[in-house]
Structure 1
C-alpha cells in the first residue's frame, strides 16, 4: 500500500467526460488499496473568465461579469447534470456551486461600484474556480463508489498577506495538514482539496501565484508523507522540446529536480522550480502523467541524475524578452558599475533572465521581460547619469528582437564538447549567436538569437544534439504497482 497525492490540472477536469476519467483513475488506485489525496484545479478556462469579469467590472463594464456568471452556471450545471444521476446530490452540489457564482457577482458588483480591483479582492475572485470544481469532483468520486470528502486549502495552507503571490508559512501549514488530512487518509477516505489557494492566519483567502496548484500539491503531498506525487496533465510527460516547434519531440522518461528547474525557468511548460521544493527537501518523487492516457508511465522527476550520451536532454525557448546593453570605453576598471546597473533594474521589479559581460569590461548585456525593457533602460540611464556626463558610458539600449534558446542536461559543465555540438547545430541552421551564458549551473547553456531564428535553432539542436544522444536503455521506473491500469 502506498500514499499517492494526485493533482489534476484544468484540462484534466475541464469537461464532464474528463472528470469522469479522473474518477476512474482514482477509483482504480483506491481499489488497489492505495491511499489517495486529490488536489484539483478549476475547470479549464474558468480562472481566466473570473479574472476577466473582475477587470471589466473595474473598467466600468457591468454587463460582462453578468454574462460570465451565466456562462459559469451553465458550464458547471452541465457537468453536475451529466456526472450525478441522483436528484438529491445533484441539487445539493448545484446549490453549493451556485452560491459561489453568486459570490462572484457580488464581488464584481462591488468592484464595479468602486472602479477598483485590489490584489486582495482579485485573490477572492480567482480562488472561486477551484472552489467550484472541488465539490463536483468529490461527488463524482462518490458516485463512482469512492468514499470522498472536500477540504478547502484555505483551512490547510497558511500564508502571509502578499496577495496574488502569497508566501507559505510552513510550520503552521504542516501542523494543519497533519491534523486535518492525515486522519482522513488513514480512514481510506479520498480528500479533494483545492489547489492554488490558501489563507492568512485571519482566514483571508490568498493565492499562491504562478504554478499555484502544483505548488499546493507539493506542499500537501510533502506534509502527508506521500510516497509519490503525480501531476496529471493532458500530455504524456515532459518533452524533449515543444512538439509544436519540433514534431519529433519525445517524452523524457527520467529527469532530475535540477534539470526540471532549469527547463521551467527557461520557458518549458513543466513544473515551476518553487513547486518542487517541498518534495525535493523530502526526496519524494514526482511523476508527470496524462489523464487521457493513464497507462503510460510518464516522466519521473527525482533527485538522481541520469546522464545521456549527448548530455543534452532538452532544448527550450523563452520569447517576449529584451536584451539590454550598457556600453562604454570608460567602464573598464570602474568599480560598482554592474552593481548599480542591477540595482536600477531591481527598482523596476524586473527579473533578469541571463547576464553576459565582455572580458574587456566595456559592455554588459542582460535579458529582461520585453514589457519591462523601456522602464529598465530609463532607470539605468538615471542611475548612471554621472558616468554619462563623464563619457565613461556612451549608450544604454534595448533590443527587443531577440529570444533565448537554452539546452538542458545533467553533467554539462563536466562534459567536453557539449558547447561544440550545440554551436555546430546552430551553424548548420545558419543561426548567429548574439550572447551566451554558461555559468555556475551544471544543467544549462543559454544562447541569445534573433527572434526569427529561434525555431530553426531549436529544431536543429533538437535533431542534431538531443535526439542523437537519447539512450534507448534509460527508462523511468514503473509507477507504484497497480496504481493505474
Structure 2
C-alpha cells in the first residue's frame, strides 16, 4: 500500500488540489493508496486565532469564520460537479455550524480550555478530507473516507502526545481487514483520547498520522509531500545557498526536526524507526524529483556535517551557587521538579566546577520552570547557598548535525572559530556523547549571521561572501563599483571571494537592497532611494547583522569618520580613504585600533597615504617583523606634485590648480591640499604607524600660501587670492630653476619630529625626477640604513584610490 501525506500548502487552492490528485492517481496505478491530508493552507491557524478572539470577547472572530466557510464552499463548487454538490455542501455547513456553536460557548464563558482548543483545531483536517473525498468520487475513483479519530488513540497533555500503539494498531488492522477500496482518504492531525473525546497529535501532526498508519500496516515507505524539495542543509528562507539533502539517517532527521527543521514533525519517526520504514520527503510541485530519503543510513552523504538548524523560541535558565558544589543529588532534585511540572528541557550544560547549571526550555514554559525551581530550593536560596533562578531571553540554539561528525576531528573548533571571527558570542555549549550534534546558545539577533557563517564554512565551495555598504559614490566610489563589477568573475574564480554591495549612499540619497544592489543600474536606483542619513545608514547596516560586513567610506567628511567607532563596536569592518579619523586626536586614533582588535573587525586605511600605493602596509610589515624606523622622507601629495610638475611660470599658478581639480587630483576644496594640511595628516599617520604618539599640532607646517588665502572660506575667494599672489609663485619657481632644482612639497619624519613644506630638490635626489602625480616614500630603518626602502608610484586619482580601497577589501576577504 502507498502511504502519502499532503500538507496545507499543497492544498491551499482548488488548482493545487487538482495537481495533488494527478500525483495520487499515478500512484493508484501501482497499488492501493492511503492519503493523509492536512487542512487547507492557513485554516488551522485561523481556527485557533478565532478561538483566542472569542475567549477575549472579541466578536471579530465571526467575520473570519464566515470567510473560512465561504472558502470551503467555494472549493466544493470549483472541484465537484453541481449534481454531486448537495450532500457535501450540507455536510460542510453542518460542520461549520458545530464550529460556530463552540465559538459561541467560548465567547460566553470567556474561557478556552485545552480540550476545547483540540476539538476546534481538528475541524480543518476533517473539512479538507471530506471535500477531497467527494472530489475523488466525482472522478469515479473507488474511495473511502477514514475518520482517523475512530482509529488513533492518544493522550495529549500540554502539547505532549503519547499514542497508545497497542489500541491504535489493533484498530487500524481491524478496519483494513473489514474495508476495501482503491483509495483511502484520512484526515491528519486528529485523534481521540482514551475517553473517546476528540484530540490532536500536535501541530504538524499530519506527518505523524501518516507514520502511524505506515507502521501499523508495515508499509515500505511513507511519501510526505510539501512545498519544498526536501530537508535542506539549513533553512532556505534564512540561508540562500542552502540546498536539499538526498539522503539522511533517522537519527539525523530526528536531530534536525527537533532543532527547528519545519519540514518534518519530530514524533513522525517514532513508529517507523524500529521497522526501518523509509520516509521520502517530496515537493508537491515537482513530484518526479527524488527529494530527501530518510532511512537507516546516510551513506551517500559525503560531508562530515549533514545539516545546520536552530530553535529560536527558547529561554535560558541559570542556576548557580556555591551550595551546589559537591552536593550529591542536586541535579536529581532539579530535574525531578521539571519532570513534575511536565517541562521538557531542550539543552543542558553544567560547569565542571558544579557551581552552575544552565538549561534551555521553551519560551512559554520559562516562568513556570523558574517559579517551580525557586520554590523547590527555597531553603537554599534563603540561606544564600544558591541564587534565585535567572531567565535569559532573546537567545536561540544553533546546532550542527551529522552522523559522521564523530569520526572527524576539529569540527567543534571550526564551528566556534567561524562564529568567533564574526563576533558571535556563545552563551552555552552542549555536545552529546554520540557526537551527532553540537549545540550552542547565541543571541537571537545573531541567528541569521550564524547560520550563514556556518553554512559557508561547512557546505559551500570554499568561498567567502563579503557584504559591502558604501558611502560616497562620486569619483572614487563610482570607480570602485566599476572595478568590483569588472573583477567579479576573477574574484570568485581565483580568490574564492563573492562581493555583494547591499547599501550605497551619497550626500542626498541612500539605497539598501538585501539581495544585493544591481551594479548595472545602481545610479538610477540610488536616485529613487530614501533621503540620506548617516544615523539611518548605520542602523540599517547594524540591523541587517550580516557576516563579513564592511563599511566603505569614500568621502572626506569628518561627520562620517565620527561613525567609525560605532561600526567597529558592532563587528563591522571599516575601509576608508578618509584621513580624518586616523589624523584625529591620538586617543581617538588609538580607540579605533582597540575597537578593531576587541570586536574582530578590520580597520584598513591604506589609501590614507599614497592612494593605491602599499605604503602603510609596507610600514606595518616592517614594524611587525621587528624593524625600526629612524627617518621617513616623502612626497605624499599627488595633487601638489602634479601642480609643481606642471607649473612653469608661463601659465598662471591658479590655472594649474584648476587643471589638477579638473583631473580629480585634489580634494573638492583644493586649499586642503595646497595648505599642506593633507600632507601633514599623512605624515602624522605614518608617524603613528611607526609607533610614535603624535598629534597634528606637533607637525611643523611651512606653508607656501599667504595667510589671507589660507583664511578664505570659499573656492572662489581662494582662487582670487591665488591670482593676486602670482608674483610670489613665479619667484619660487624661478629661484628653483636658477639653482637647477625642482620644487617638491616634502614631508619628513626624523628622530620623532615631523615637518612638511616646499623644498628645492636637486638632480641627485630621488625626488627630482618624480613626475605627474606620483608619490614616493623613503624608509630609513635598522635594516635599510644606508639605502632606504623606496615605495613609488601614482599617488592620486580616482582610479588608483579606488584600487587601493579594493585592495583593502580583498585583504579582509583573505583574512
TM over 0.5: yes
- Which segments of 5 or more consecutive residues in structure 1 lack a partner in the other structure? 470-485
For the pair 1:180 / 2:175, whether they are aligned, the reply is yes
Residue equivalent to 1:104? 99
Output the CA distance in 2 between the equivalents of 1:224 and 1:213: 17
SS in 1 for 2:389: strand
Output the CA distance in 1 between the equivalents of 2:90 and 2:338: 50
Residue equivalent to 1:70? 66
Greater RCO (CA < 8 Å, at least 6 residues apart): 1
| Residue 383 of structure 1, CA deviation | 2.4
Residue equivalent to 1:474? none
Aligned mate of 1:125, from 105, 115, 120: 120
Residue equivalent to 2:37? 40
| Residue 369 of structure 1, CA deviation | 2.1
Output the CA distance in 2 between the equivalents of 1:254 and 1:273: 17
Output the CA distance in 2 between the equivalents of 1:371 and 1:166: 17
For the pair 1:28 / 2:26, whether they are aligned, the reply is yes
Aligned mate of 2:85, from 72, 79, 90: 90
Residue equivalent to 1:475? none
**TM-score (norm: length of structure 1):** 0.89
For the pair 1:293 / 2:286, whether they are aligned, the reply is yes
For residues 324-364 of structure 1, the C-alpha deviation after alignment (integer angstroms, 9 at most, x for no partner) is: 22222343212222222333444544321111111111211
Residue equivalent to 2:639? none
Residue equivalent to 1:306? 299
Residue equivalent to 1:158? 153
* Pairing 1:189-228 to 2, within 5 Å after superposition: 189-200=182-193, 203-228=196-221
* Pairing 1:15-414 to 2, within 5 Å after superposition: 15-31=13-29, 33-61=30-58, 63-84=59-80, 86-160=81-155, 162=157, 167-181=162-176, 184=179, 187-200=180-193, 203-306=196-299, 308-394=301-387, 396-414=389-407
Residues 182 and 224 of structure 1 are in contact (CA less than 8 Å); yes or no, is this contact kept in structure 2? Answer: no
For residues 193-235 of structure 1, the C-alpha deviation after alignment (integer angstroms, 9 at most, x for no partner) is: 1111112455422212233211111111222222211111111
Greater shift in the superposed pair: 169-178 or 199-208: 199-208
User: Over aligned residue pairs, what C-alpha RMSD do you find?
Assistant: 2.2
* Pairing 1:457-472 to 2, within 5 Å after superposition: 457-467=450-460
Cα 1:388–1:173 change in 2 (3 A) is closer
Residues 252 and 402 of structure 2 are in contact (CA less than 8 Å); yes or no, is this contact kept in structure 1? Answer: yes
SS in 1 for 2:112: coil
Residue equivalent to 2:7? 9
Output the CA distance in 1 between the equivalents of 2:166 and 2:363: 38
Output the CA distance in 1 between the equivalents of 2:155 and 2:369: 29
SS in 1 for 2:239: coil
Residues 27 and 145 of structure 1 are in contact (CA less than 8 Å); yes or no, is this contact kept in structure 2? Answer: no
Output the CA distance in 2 between the equivalents of 1:384 and 1:210: 35
Residue equivalent to 2:741? none
Residues 355 and 365 of structure 1 are in contact (CA less than 8 Å); yes or no, is this contact kept in structure 2? Answer: yes
**TM-score (norm: length of structure 2):** 0.54
Output the CA distance in 1 between the equivalents of 2:366 and 2:121: 29
Residues 247 and 300 of structure 2 are in contact (CA less than 8 Å); yes or no, is this contact kept in structure 1? Answer: no
| Residue 255 of structure 1, CA deviation | 0.9
| Residue 273 of structure 1, CA deviation | 2.9
Report how many aligned residue pairs link the two structures. 462
Output the CA distance in 1 between the equivalents of 2:177 and 2:34: 10
Output the CA distance in 2 between the equivalents of 1:426 and 1:217: 39
Output the CA distance in 1 between the equivalents of 2:196 and 2:360: 39
SS in 2 for 1:157: coil
Cα 1:369–1:169 change in 2 (3 A) is closer
| Residue 468 of structure 1, CA deviation | 5.3
Cα 1:373–1:154 change in 2 (3 A) is closer
Output the CA distance in 2 between the equivalents of 1:382 and 1:118: 27
The structure with the larger Rg is 2
- Which segments of 5 or more consecutive residues in structure 2 lack a partner in the other structure? 463-815
Residues 166 and 206 of structure 1 are in contact (CA less than 8 Å); yes or no, is this contact kept in structure 2? Answer: no
